[in-house]
Amino acid sequence: MSKMPNHKNLSEKKTAGPYLAAAIFCETIIEDKQDNVLSAIRIIDTFTMTLAASTPPDVPSEKNRLPVNVNGLLIFKTGSSTKKTHALRIVMQSPSGKRGKVLEETIPFPPEPQASANVRLATTIAVKEGGLFWMDVFLDTKRLARMPLMIHIQRQELAPHSPIKSDATS
């Protein structure tokens, strides 16, 4: 017969932290003014840029990059961590494999285990080509998340010319 776990010991057992509760890209973030609760609106993993037919053919390119505005939300939970601050670093990797720092800052953590340290991301990616981008989230030296974002670039086609019709009769 198996022994039942001692729930008292489980509840007293310390766990680590902090923990990453959410890492998302979204269209916008709303904060309720009464209780400061956040809502992420239109969570996305794919972004489509539609270029006008008149856009020069060298856009996007190494020389003429497209700005893509990206919003995101990171939610951390303190857990049983006793540190009051942690070093956050975010690195973006392009489809070609090139990596660049997006953010590096120290963020405060509240003492309560269920409490949140929320980070709103608002960045612009200078895109030279479409494809799969990766955003790596590091807390202190540990990578906690790898967030994929597919960026599609499409061009509108020129409308075919139609013959001019005339109501005049000869």
Cα-based distances in Å from 79 to 12, 75, 83, 115, 137: 13, 12, 11, 8, 18
pTM of the predicted protein model = 0.80
Q: How many CB atoms are closer than 10 A to CB 114?
A: 9
pLDDT at res. 167: 56
155 CB burial (10 A radius; 0-12, 13-18, 19+)? middle
Q: Name the strand (E) or helix (H) holding 9.
A: helix 7-12
- Looking at residue 64, the DSSP 8-state letter turns out to be S
Sign of the alpha-carbon dihedral angle for 50, 52, 56, 57: positive
pLDDT at res. 161: 62
Q: Does domain 15-155 have CATH number 2.60.40.10?
A: yes
pLDDT digits (tens, 9 = 90+) for 43-89: 999 999 999 999 999 999 999 999 999 999 999 999 999 899 999 99
Residue position matching structure tokens 């006793």: 82
Q: Over 50: is that where the pLDDT of 11 sits?
A: no
Edge to edge, the sheet with strand 99-108 lists 46-51, 142-155, 131-139, 85-93, 99-108
Residue position matching structure tokens 């017969």: 1
Report yes or no: 54 and 155 within 8 Å, Cβ to Cβ: no
CA atoms within 13 A on the CB side of 71: 12
pLDDT digits (tens, 9 = 90+) for 95-107: 999 999 999 999 9
Spell out the domain ranges in the chain.
Answer: 15-155
